[in-house]
């Protein structure tokens, strides 16, 4: 069978390698049972790469990421590297990959699975059945805008500067991703900004409106101030389908949405680039959580977010909807059966470690595919 799906796997630091091991079980299962073969390369990133190669993402790793059809990323960082200067930190590994591969659209689903409805910070009725998607612009805005820095003023006092800047092309390309997603889901896009107080917000609102009118008239478009959106997410989250925001607002709102779902250990994400002339699109898939140094090495990390990131990879990079749904259903069935890692533990359930959870998902895949 030809291995025509090239994956670069970058487990990273902390719990990254532990949860990635469980995804490898699923990949092996797919190889055996679904006749889907992946050509897999594994590389170093973050602190592990700093230690071995002197940089958090080497040119060679970047070249392999460019050549791959998709990158499956774990997580980076940890106390060992915390005292390094800003320009040497492991977290630069992921920033470099995002920037160099042009990964401008970060997709973060916030889905409340039925078995975990009690784990949410909100009342069950407010979140039961919640299924929304946040599309965050991820290569522009205030995290990259110039000028930036801390400078000393003539009076000897320091001043910190960051710049929120967006061109209309940057807004338009991420808006198209949001509209396109909404069209494939429930047909509603909520675009958030602060057009009342920010110039870049005024442009954001105008450009999203123009794209919607010209290219997606079938998608319902709603504009909302970001602060109101934060409040609405806490009071009536089920009104949303797809939420589109800048790097900064998308970052804040997606963490808020994460709290609605109960645990960081359950949340996957995808970051997509533009579709090239050859029809290919760079894409990187990673859990929302970090390297969780407090539990690394203990075998108790929840592997579901990493597994669900792999499901997103199957769907978005390879159009393998059926296989993606199979992985998602297997995870949900294992939870419904009462197994829980420590982070999502509830009374009356069975507490298990990372490996047992991974094995249970593979057993469930066997049952589903029988």
Instruction: Give the interface with ligand NAD as residue ranges (CB under 6 A).
Output: 15, 19, 75-78, 91, 94, 264-265, 286, 289-295, 301-302, 305, 341, 343
Q: How far does CA 332 lie from the centroid of its chain?
A: 19
For residue 251, indicate whether it is catalytic. Answer: yes
Report, in Å, the least distance between residue 193 CB and ligand NAD. 24
Distance CA 107, CA 308 (A): 13
Please identify, using beta-carbon distances, which residue of 10 and 36 lies nearer to ligand NAD.
10
For residue 28, indicate whether it is catalytic. Answer: no
Distance CA 46, CA 74 (A): 10
For 346, half-sphere exposure in the C-beta direction (CA atoms, 13 angstrom radius) is 14
Helices (H), the chain: 16-33, 47-53, 59-67, 92-100, 124-127, 168-184, 199-215, 226-235, 247-261, 304-318, 321-336, 354-369
Please identify, using beta-carbon distances, which residue of 137 and 193 lies nearer to ligand NAD.
137
Out of 13, 251, 323, 343, the active site residue is 251
Distance CA 177, CA 130 (A): 21
Report, in Å, the least distance between residue 344 CB and ligand NAD. 8
Please identify, using beta-carbon distances, which residue of 245 and 287 lies nearer to ligand NAD.
287
Report, in Å, the least distance between residue 198 CB and ligand NAD. 26
Please identify, using beta-carbon distances, which residue of 46 and 245 lies nearer to ligand NAD.
46
Report, in Å, the least distance between residue 73 CB and ligand NAD. 7
For residue 227, indicate whether it is catalytic. Answer: yes
Residue 77 is given by DSSP the state -
Please identify, using beta-carbon distances, which residue of 76 and 331 lies nearer to ligand NAD.
76
Contacts of 310 (CB under 8 A, 6+ apart): 23, 26, 27, 72, 285, 327
Report, in Å, the least distance between residue 343 CB and ligand NAD. 4
Q: How far does CA 55 lie from the centroid of its chain?
A: 23
Out of 6, 143, 180, 225, the active site residue is 143
Please identify, using beta-carbon distances, which residue of 137 and 286 lies nearer to ligand NAD.
286
Q: Select from 134, 132, 135 the least CA-distant residue to 240.
A: 132
* Residue 262: C-alpha distances to residues 180, 227, 230 (Å): 28, 22, 17
Report, in Å, the least distance between residue 292 CB and ligand NAD. 4
Residue 217 burial (CB count, 10 A): 9
Out of 131, 225, 227, 238, the active site residue is 227
Is there a contact between 92 and 81 (Cβ–Cβ < 8 Å)? no
Please identify, using beta-carbon distances, which residue of 19 and 233 lies nearer to ligand NAD.
19
Is there a contact between 136 and 247 (Cβ–Cβ < 8 Å)? yes
* Residue 338: C-alpha distances to residues 8, 301, 332, 341 (Å): 33, 17, 10, 10
Please identify, using beta-carbon distances, which residue of 101 and 219 lies nearer to ligand NAD.
101
Out of 5, 166, 194, 323, the active site residue is 194
Report, in Å, the least distance between residue 300 CB and ligand NAD. 7
Rg (CA), the chain: 21
Out of 31, 131, 162, 255, the active site residue is 255
Q: Select from 242, 235, 289 the least CA-distant residue to 267.
A: 289
Report, in Å, the least distance between residue 255 CB and ligand NAD. 10
For residue 285, indicate whether it is catalytic. Answer: no
For residue 180, indicate whether it is catalytic. Answer: no
Distance CA 121, CA 258 (A): 10
Distance CA 353, CA 349 (A): 13
Question: Could you list the active site residues?
Answer: 143, 194, 227, 251, 255
């Amino acid at each position: 069978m030809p291995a025509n799906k090239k994956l670069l796997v970058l487990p990273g630091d902390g719990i990254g390698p532990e949860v990635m091991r469980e995804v490898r079980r699923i990949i092996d299962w797919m190889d055996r049972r679904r006749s889907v073969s992946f050509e897999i390369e594994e590389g170093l990133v973050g602190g592990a790469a700093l230690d071995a190669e002197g940089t958090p993402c080497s040119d060679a790793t970047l070249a392999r990421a460019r050549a791959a059809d998709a990158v499956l990323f774990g997580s980076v960082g940890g106390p060992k590297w915390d005292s390094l200067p800003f320009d040497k930190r492991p977290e630069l590994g992921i920033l470099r990959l995002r920037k160099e591969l042009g990964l401008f659209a970060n997709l973060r689903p916030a889905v409340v699975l039925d078995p975990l409805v009690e784990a949410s910070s909100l009342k069950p009725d407010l979140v039961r059945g919640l299924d929304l998607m946040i599309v965050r612009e991820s290569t522009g805005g205030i995290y990259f805008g110039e000028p930036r820095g801390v400078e000393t003023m003539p009076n000897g006092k320091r001043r910190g500067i960051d710049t929120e800047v967006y061109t209309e092309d940057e807004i338009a390309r991420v808006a198209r991703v949001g509209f396109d997603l909404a069209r494939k889901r429930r047909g509603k896009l909520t675009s958030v900004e602060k057009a009342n107080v920010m110039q870049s917000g005024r442009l954001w609102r105008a450009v999203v409106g123009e794209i919607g009118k010209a290219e997606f008239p079938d998608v319902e478009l709603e504009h909302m101030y970001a602060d109101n959106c934060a409040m609405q997410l806490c009071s009536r989250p089920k009104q949303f389908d797809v939420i589109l925001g800048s790097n900064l607002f998308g970052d804040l709102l997606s963490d808020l949405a994460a709290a609605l779902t109960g645990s960081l250990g359950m949340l996957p994400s995808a970051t997509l680039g533009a579709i090239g002339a050859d029809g290919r699109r760079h894409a990187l898939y990673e859990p929302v959580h970090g390297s969780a140094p407090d539990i690394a090495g203990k075998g108790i990390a929840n592997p579901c977010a990493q597994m669900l990131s792999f499901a997103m990879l199957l769907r978005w990079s390879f159009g393998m909807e059926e296989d993606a749904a199979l992985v998602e259903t297997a995870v949900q069935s294992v939870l419904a059966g009462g197994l829980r890692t420590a982070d999502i533990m509830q009374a009356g359930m069975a507490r298990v470690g990372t490996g047992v959870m991974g094995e249970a998902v593979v057993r469930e895949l066997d049952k589903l595919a029988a």
